[in-house]
Structure formats: structure tokens, C-alpha cells
Amino acid sequence: MDSRWSDADARDYVAQYQSVGEDLALRVYTSRLLGRERALVLHGGGNTSVKTRVTDLLGDKIDVLCVKGSGWDMADIEPPGLPAVRLDPLRRLEKLDRLSDEDMVNYLRGNLLDAAAPNPSVETLLHAFLPHKFVDHTHADAVLALTDRHDGAKICEEVFEGRLGLVPYVMPGFALAKLCAEIYAKNPDVEGLVLLKHGLFTFGETAREAYERTIRAVTAAERRLAGGRAKKRALAALPNDIAQLHEVAPVLRGLVAEKRDGAEPRRQVLVFRNSPAVMGYVNGAELERYGRAGPTTPDHVIRTKPWPMILPAPREGELPAFREVARRGFTSYVEAYGAYFARHNKGDKKPLDSIPRVVLVPGLGMFGVGASAKDATIAADLAETAMGVIGAVETQAPFESITEQDIFDMEYWSLEQAKLGKAAEKRLARHVVAVTGGASGIGAATVKAFRSEGAEVAVLDIAGGAEAIRCDVTSSESVRDAFRQVVARYGGVDIVVSNAGRAFQGRIGDVSEAVLRESFEINFYGHQRVAQEAVAIMRAQGTGGALLFNVSKQAVNPGPDFGPYGLPKAATLALMRQYALDHGADGIRANAVNADRIRTGLLTNDMIAARAKARGVSEVDYMTGNLLGREVTAEDVARAFVELALARTTTAAVLTVDGGNIAAAPR
Ligand code: ZN
């Protein structure tokens, strides 16, 4: 691994962060260098500190430890992410024999200079008890690959030749801080400490020295890994007709959704990975052994659970059998997790949920599981990194993690769980929503409205674009491909807003059959194609769902010369009712929004002029010609879709969003 230190960049940081002083500016600089290297830390892992001096309001100089605060990621840390804690009171704690977590957290908070600062890292005392000005802590992949094996200490002796002290595994907190200080005191010439099965600490008098000692240690570890005699991983004998992702993912997503009596299931979002490294890992003949051995570094466990759920390879055309095998696999996962809890709980912990966070499917790949795409991505990233580490260990020796009791103590450590936060979930968190015609007008407003309720929203649009999935609702293939992409991105779908449409005008006695058919193609068959694809996925999940159709008020109250648009919309209203009828037993609700006169790309200003003329009124009167006398917006329609999605016992309903129009009231 190369050092990315640059004198010019260091000077820039010092200039940019002049107000906080050179020490903290350089601390920010090298923390970011470490945080931006995926092979060193991921997603808020690791921590850094600098010992410096600040002046308080009275002009007194105070020695402080600026240490990474909880909730900050080193990759983009700022000075407030390194809160200052009074150093002398921290150092005096070293005299104690033991210290409870509660007392430690309270003491750290009590010694913060800024009362509003985040909690200092759980490893703060380790930083404080070491004498060096700069201390860097990472979970470097290459170092883990040397230590996550039975002879890790011996290998580290050989590789680091006494330049790093070796610390046996002890859970983070006060006891580890004391142990590290003792080991350092016996070898005060070392450049750092290897925490076996946990990670690396390096230190120095300058930011550069501490940082480059990390790089040097990692480079030495990498050389050793590359130089050893490599054993090739034996592959399992797998069928060559593996089922496809779009078939398997909804089955798994349904499986890991927690069913709750009388309430909506607690759904999960799935993100999928199948890089060559992932495939090599999940297809290994000994997956059951190394795959269940435990985390590569302890703080992964709150994101990945102690072990993944491992399922057999799913075969094409045998999905019902796979569904059954997967169900049994999930049941035994839940039982094994319950037994693990019972084995290690000393009586005062409450069990966490027993839903796997990582699912391995030989032949197919790996799924990260989480309450949101972000959480699922974190689980998948950590799992993918662990696969690299385990793969590197396994070329030379069997992978070995910390003991199961140590894994449990870490997973159920209140200070670790606190990192996950306990904010209340939004109303549509854990839901995957697809919106057709989502790039503009009512669709775009709907995408925004669902996102603000916490949903993961896939934008489907004929225009495609950077964020949107291309979807032409007049083509069955295009709709099918679009939903496959939604499944690949999130694991399935729960709510579909079938919104794409196009306006056609013409007096019905004069209109050509071609125009009428073209309108039916998008304004009726388009909805049918979308609903059909969505329902297939929802049924595979088995957790219900919601279909929401945008039917114009033309469906119930035809306007003059608007037949080519209103007729298919009327058919779509009937389509909605048919879905409600035929799929209510699947827990799938179907509802429609009957909106009128929304200024969008579909009802353009030119069309408004034409419609107003057809009715013999002014444009303003046309747009506000309703009982409330106010123009209705795309945002009003979007809110109606959201409320219908939340109306758990409403199906086959039409919600009118038109400012009030008695003639268009459904009856
Ligand atoms: Zn750590």
C-alpha cells in the first residue's frame, strides 16, 4: 500500500483549518487519508486522535485529546468530528482496576470541552493511555488476514520483526485500553500495536509518522500474503442451471420479512453482489466451515450478525422446491440465533431480531439485508471485505475468528448497539416503490413524496437518464426488464404507482382507429403490463403489496373531444377493480387516484388553452373551476398516492384529487 501523504496537501489543510490549529488540521488530513482507503476501514470503522493544547474562556491552557466522535466517518471527517476531551482526567483512570461502560461513557462526556459534542469513540481510553501525540487505528484487511488464524501471533512476530507490539484479543473498552498500555510499557520502542483478530494501532510524534507507520505495517502484511505458498480454494460441485436473480431475490425478500400478527410485515431491503471475489467465496467447497466462522474484526458483528444465512444453489425451473428449502434454511437460522443467544446471555440482555443481514447463495451471489438500501449496502460492503480477508487467510491457513462468547459480548455491547441509533422509522421505511413516468410531472412529485416518507423509490421512465430505469410501458419486454432491474437493486417491490400516460384528443366520431389503439396501448395496456409484472413479484414475496393507478377524471366524467384519452382510462379504472378482486387474497391492494387539471408535461399550457376553449371558459377559470376554486398541483396528487399506500384496509377505491367536481364524483 502506498503512502498518500503530500506536503502540499498537508499545507492546504493547515491553511484551510487555521482556526482549529495545525495539530487538529493535520489530524483531519491523515484521518481522511486512512478513511478513504477501503482496505483500511469501511463505514465509520477505526478511529484516530491527537493530543494537543487548547485555551479555554478564562485563558487557561488545557491539555486535551481530540478523538474521533461516534457517528463520524473518517473519510469525510471535519474538526467537530474529533471532540476535545480533557487529557489529565482520562490518564488518571489508568489507576483503576475496572470501570463499567456506563461510568466510562459518563466520565468521557463529563470531560468534553464542548457539551454538545458527539460521544468520544469507545476506544478513547486506549488513545489516552498511549503517550504519543498522534494515534491511528484501522481494521486493515492485510493485517487481519495475518491475525485471523490460530498462529496469527507467530506470523506477526515474523512479519513485523518486533516493530509492533502484539495484543491478544480483548473486547474494546477499559480492559483493552489497560492491556495495550501495559504491553506498550514493556516495549516502548514499538511503532504500534497489532490487536490480534481486531486491527492495527500505530502512533508517532507527527501526523505523517503515525500514518506512514500504518502504511508500512500494511505493506509488510501484504508482502507476506503475496509471498506465501498459496493453496487454491476447492470449488463445490454446483448445478449449471442456476435460477436467475429476479426469480430468487423476491423469494428471499419475503422470507426475511418479519411477519407480525395483525400488522404490516417488517420488510427488508436486499442489495445483491456477484463480483468474481464474491462468487469464488460462495462457490467454495468449504463455505459451510469458513462462512460461519465469525467476523474478521469484531465491530462488523452489529451490521452482519455473527454469521450469514447460507442456502443451497437454486436451480432453474425448480423454484417451488427452492422456496421450501430456503424456508427451512431460514427457520434453522432463526433457531440457531436463538440458541446462540441462550448460550451466552448472562441474564440481563434482551434478544435482538434474528433476521440474517447477509445471505449467501452458491451459484448466484451474496445479498446484504437491511432496513434501507443504505443499511443493506453497509452489510454487503462489510461482508464483501470480510470475504477478501477470509479468502487471503485461507490461501495459507484456516480462517479463525474470535470466540463465540466474544462475538456475543460485542454484538450485545450497549456501546456498539448505540452506534446503530434508534431513531423512529418513517411511515414507509422498508418499502420499495416503483413509479412509472417518474421523471417528470406527477410522477416526479410522487417519487419525492414517497422518498420523504422513507421509502426506497425506483424511478421508471421512458426517458431513462442517470437515475431512472428506462421503461417503455408500451413494450412488455421493456416493462419486464425494468422490473428485473428494480429487483436487482432492492430485492423486490411493494408499491407500484402506475402513472405513465399520454393525452390523445379527437371527436370520437372522427377519430381514427389507429389513434384510439395507440392511446389504449399506453393508457390501458401500459397499466396492465406494469401491474402484471409487479403482482408476480409481490406474490413471490408473499408479503402483499399496493398497486396505485393514475386514472384521470376522464374515466368517470368524459370531457368533450377527449374520448381517445378517457376511454382507456375508464378501462384502467375497471382494471384496478379487477386487480383488487383477483388479488385481494394475496394481500395486494389496488386503488386509483382520479385527478383533474394538473399542470404537467401531459397537460401542457397549450393543451390547457385548447381545453379551456372547448369548454368556453378562460384558462384561469378552467384551472380553478372546481368547488374549492383553487388549482390542484402535482404535489396534491402525490400526497394522495402516499395516503392510499398507507391505507391498509382500503382496496378497489378511487380517491378524487380535483378540488371538487360533483359531475366527476364516482358513483
Ligand atoms: Zn477497532
Buried b (16+ CB within 10 A) or exposed e, 400-416: bbbeeebbbbbbbbebb
- The catalytically annotated residue of 401, 498, 569, 622 is 569
Model pTM? 0.93
Buried b (16+ CB within 10 A) or exposed e, 557-573: bbbebbbbbbbbbbbbb
Q: Is 569 a catalytic residue?
A: yes
CA of 161 to the centre of ligand 1 (A): 23
CA of 76 to the centre of ligand 1 (A): 18
Which of helix, strand or coil describes residue 51?
strand
Contact at 8 Å (CB) between 658 and 596? Answer: yes
Which of helix, strand or coil describes residue 203?
strand
581: left (phi over 0), alpha (psi -120 to 50) or beta: alpha
Beta strands in 20-89, from DSSP E residues, in sequence order? 47-55, 61-67, 84-86
> Hey, which residues does 551 pair with through a beta bridge?
594
- The catalytically annotated residue of 340, 565, 579, 622 is 565
269: left (phi over 0), alpha (psi -120 to 50) or beta: beta
Length of the chain: 667
- The catalytically annotated residue of 17, 305, 552, 553 is 552
How far apart, in whole angstroms, are the C-alpha atoms of residue 429 and residue 456? Answer: 8
What domains can be seen in the chain, in order of their start residue? 7-227 (3.40.225.10), 245-409 (3.40.225.10), 432-664 (3.40.50.720)
CA of 343 to the centre of ligand 1 (A): 25
C-alpha cell at 176: 483493552
Beta strands in 131-184, from DSSP E residues, in sequence order? 134-138, 164-167
- Nearest C-alpha neighbor of 588 from the set 527, 542, 630: 542
Residues surrounding ion ligand 1 at CB below 5 Å = 199
Q: Which pLDDT does position 270 carry in this prediction?
A: 98
Give pLDDT tens digits for 310-358.
Answer: 999 999 988 899 999 999 999 999 999 999 999 999 878 899 999 999 9
Q: Name every residue whose Cβ is closer than 8 Å to that of residue 271 and which is 6 or more positions away in sequence.
A: 367, 368, 370, 373, 376, 377, 380, 489, 490, 491
Rounded (to 5) percent helix, strand, coil in the chain: 45, 15, 35
How far apart, in whole angstroms, are the C-alpha atoms of residue 433 and residue 79? Answer: 38
Q: Which pLDDT does position 632 carry in this prediction?
A: 92
Edge-to-edge strand list for the sheet holding 588-595: 469-470, 456-461, 432-436, 495-498, 545-552, 588-595, 653-657
C-alpha cell at 46: 477505526
How far apart, in whole angstroms, are the C-alpha atoms of residue 565 and residue 555? Answer: 9
CA of 46 to the centre of ligand 1 (A): 5
CA of 539 to the centre of ligand 1 (A): 43
Q: Which pLDDT does position 218 carry in this prediction?
A: 97
CA of 165 to the centre of ligand 1 (A): 16
Q: Which pLDDT does position 331 carry in this prediction?
A: 95
Q: With a cut of 50, list the residues of the chain below it in pLDDT.
A: none
Listing DSSP states for 576-622 in one string gives: HHHHHHHHGGGTEEEEEEEE--B-SSSS-HHHHHHHHHHHTS-HHHH
Q: Which pLDDT does position 416 carry in this prediction?
A: 76
CA of 441 to the centre of ligand 1 (A): 48
Pairing of strands 309-310, 432-436: unpaired
CA of 40 to the centre of ligand 1 (A): 11
Q: Which pLDDT does position 484 carry in this prediction?
A: 98
Helix ranges (H only) for 243-352 are 245-255, 276-282, 287-291, 301-304, 319-344
Edge-to-edge strand list for the sheet holding 61-67: 84-86, 61-67, 47-55, 134-138, 199-204, 192-195, 164-167
CA of 138 to the centre of ligand 1 (A): 6
Give burial (CB, 10 Å; 0-12/13-18/19+) of 508. Answer: middle
How far apart, in whole angstroms, are the C-alpha atoms of residue 113 and residue 127? Answer: 17
The amino acid that residue 93 corresponds to is L
